[in-house]
Amino acid sequence: MSEAKFYFEWLGVEKNQFRILSLLAPKGIYKGTLSDMCRQLDIAVQTNNREKLKSDISELSKNGYITSSLCGRTYKLKAISKETVIQIPNKWLNRITSHDYSSENVSWQAVLKVLLWCFNNNKSPIVTRNDMATDLNIGVDTVTSALNVLEKDFGAIKRKIVTRKTQNGEYRCDGLEITTCAWWN
């Protein structure tokens, strides 16, 4: 089974840049025109989208995530290895990118970021949505929606709310215990 290789360091980049990095994950390289990239990312082939892709490629290259070269109109992008590798089967990546997220109104990029974060969480057994949102550069509501999809639609995680009783007899939520599952074949 071939695997897509992501790096934990990628998870904090903005959504459109993460889309580009996701193209590189299966093989470590991508070769094609900006129009090809638009089609593969399922965005309209328009001048403003191609310009945004060009700008994002430049930014990713400048920040040391990728190398890029241009031959005519064809871009060759190559991922630069980082310290913390997170691998998932390519069919998981395909399923995440092609799923209908209308029930939770969340992007596949956010769902993928949250899943990869959960696979690599070494911080603490109890985490908060705020911690995740900060690490992933997305909103807390987006994290919540992504967790809902991962739990309900994919069965990829199990969540347990961790509470404790305070001195006043009230209950306080400390965070979540998230367990990743072997979710599909």
| 80 closest CA partner among 53, 52, 61 | 61
pLDDT score for 109: 95
* Separation between Cα atoms, residue 110 and residue 115, nearest integer Å: 9
Residue positions counted in the chain? 185
pLDDT score for 125: 84
| pLDDT beyond 70 at 183 | no
pLDDT score for 1: 56
Looking at every residue in the chain, the average pLDDT score rounds to 92
pLDDT score for 185: 46
Higher pLDDT, 66 or 42: 66
**Sheet (strand 74-79) strand order:** 29-32, 74-79, 66-71
* Separation between Cα atoms, residue 154 and residue 185, nearest integer Å: 11
Neighbours of 86 (CB within 10 A): 19
The three-class DSSP label of residue 123 is: coil
> Sign of the CA dihedral 117, 123, 125, 129?
negative
pLDDT score for 179: 87
Q: What is the mean pLDDT of residues 7-23?
A: 95
- This prediction has a pTM of 0.91
Domains and CATH numbers, the chain: 3-79 (1.10.10.10), 99-180 (1.10.10.10)
Alpha carbons within 13 angstroms on the beta-carbon side of residue 42 total 9
